[in-house]
Amino acid sequence: MRPLSPRSFPRAPEPVRHISDGGARLAAPFLELLPIDGVAISILNGGQRAALVHASDTTAAGLEESQFDLGIGPVFDSFAGADAVHVPDVATDDRWPPFLSHAQALGAAAVFVFPLGFGAASVGTVLCYSTATGPLDAATTATAMSLSRAVAGPAFRHAMILAREDEAHEGSPSELRREVHQATGMVLLQLETTATDAFARMRAYAFSHGITLREVAHDVVAHQLDFSTVND
């Protein structure tokens, strides 16, 4: 495959409209300087997503969301290793089959993730995707890593602002995360198991039924889904 170099790509037709302009400004240099079609910036806490700072379009948001649902993917590897993770062809990579299958369904042909880091520590990730296969060349990778370091601090501060702003709004990221935690507790009681196992059962159910983890959580909290009656 020929390495990708910066050039103009058509932008995704469905932007994510609920993310603030501040997050869009942080993402803009990645879209302008890298050969990508979309980007999602997230702050993580202990390997779990704490805040979605910005997603440039629905594909980027879906790629980021699916990893949160599945608990696997290049975002987690990049965050844990504080290093870039490259997937130049999602159709031939075999590291995270469920995520890669979903990535293909979303129309992503290549995915590249870069850590938001302070020194050796990661505070989050920048997920980039392209609709064309191919690796990033060394110069482009260096540019992406430099951009990620530059926006790490502003992204972390922006995440704290978003957390304060959305705390009181129903349907906000904070509210939705609370619903997932509440549903985990309910499934824990339904199955008389641990929180870890309850969360894993919810994830497995979401994947096998082709829905998001948050849709499962909503149904559990609304008493429309009882895992004690679900057959494995």
Same domain, 139 and 42: yes
6 within some domain: no
Q: Report the number of distinct structural domains present in the chain.
A: 2
Same domain, 76 and 106: yes
Same domain, 224 and 146: no
Of 134, 166, 198, which marks where a domain is finished?
Answer: 166
Same domain, 39 and 140: yes
The boundaries of the domain holding residue 78 are: 21-166
Q: In this structure, are residues 74 and 87 in contact, taking their beta carbons and an 8 Å threshold?
A: yes
Query: What sign does the CA torsion over 38, 157, 80, 176 have?
Result: negative
Per-residue pLDDT of the chain (232 residues; tens, 9 = 90+): 445 444 333 333 344 433 446 889 999 999 999 999 999 999 887 766 668 899 999 999 999 988 888 888 999 999 999 999 999 999 999 999 989 999 999 999 999 999 998 767 788 999 999 999 999 999 999 999 999 999 999 998 888 776 665 544 444 455 556 788 788 888 988 998 887 788 888 888 887 888 888 888 889 999 999 999 987 6
Same domain, 88 and 198: no
* Residue whose structure tokens are 């844990």: 80
Count of residues making up the chain: 232
Same domain, 204 and 161: no
CATH code: domain of residue 148: 3.30.450.40
Q: In this structure, are residues 115 and 75 in contact, taking their beta carbons and an 8 Å threshold?
A: no
Same domain, 63 and 103: yes
